[in-house]
Chain A
């Protein structure tokens, strides 16, 4: 419930930002956006570093801990490619938004610095991925408790971890945490790389 309120909370703050921007015509300076984003990346890296020593042994104990994140990345990018072919939307933004894998604060912010429309799509699409995880993991975990971790993307290291652990069990919780950590480390590298592609 508390975690669900987290999603509701960020949506409220997002709406407040839109309303403030419309009413007052306030424009966020590029530097503020950029340095706050770098601050978030540093803090996220620091959190990963605090748990870093547990990753090699967890991967050695269960090879799925490495296979699932790789499959999530490949699946997400394949999905982005499919959206490009189905809708004709820009290839690099389709790939970049799908490469966000649920990390809406990074994807939305990074893309809004490049193209505000893509930033909006990146934010909403990745918030929805978190929402889908809340709605579907408890059902999917009855049959596919490990492979269903992939739907949570990067959120499986924090916001959706309690849900996955309670629905899938402690062993799946460890897999989900490693999955989230690896994806969170990869996303800040992957999105800038994809955005730099020619359209």
Chain B
């Protein structure tokens, strides 16, 4: 499996979170850590989005040259999976 480290890091994060909650039953520290991890995740998201922007700048001529094709694929890849999820879920649970 490619990039197994992604799964390992995710698993380690989950295990550490579970260990923290089970070690501190009073709940004060987990709540603070949850707030901290939320802010850290937001910061990392901004850093990653900026890096994606830098990467996209490298292929901007390619994206612009594909113009309407890139737009069509983007719209299709956002709308069709979203709609298919909704339809399938509705068919299964009817609610």
Contacts and interface: CB of A to CB of B under 8 A. Distances in A.
B93 A83 contact: no
A71 B52 contact: no
Contacts, number: 293
Contacts of B60: 18, 21-22
Nearest to B30: A50
Interface residues of A, number: 91
Contact of A150 (B15, B33, B86): B86
A193 B2 CA distance: 7
A41 B59 contact: no
Contacts of B74: 121, 124-125, 128
Interface residues of B, number: 70
Contact of B20 (A19, A49, A116, A124): A49
Contacts of A146: 89, 93, 95
B7 A188 contact: yes
B37 A124 contact: no
Chain A, interface SS category: helix
A179 to B, nearest CB: 10
Contacts of B37: 43, 46-47, 50
Chain B, interface SS category: helix
B81 A98 contact: yes
Contact of A116 (B5, B55, B93): B55
A140 B75 CA distance: 20
Contacts of B45: 10, 40, 105
Interface string B1-43: 1110111011111111111111000000010011001101100
Interface string A3-14: 000000110011
Contacts of A43: 13, 37, 40-41, 44
Given A13-B50, A17-B49, A49-B16, A72 B77 contact: no
B25 to A, nearest CB: 11
16 contacts: A14-B50, A14-B53, A16-B53, A17-B50, A19-B53, A38-B9, A45-B12, A52-B18, A53-B18, A75-B81, A119-B55, A120-B56, A128-B75, A128-B78, A129-B81, A193-B1
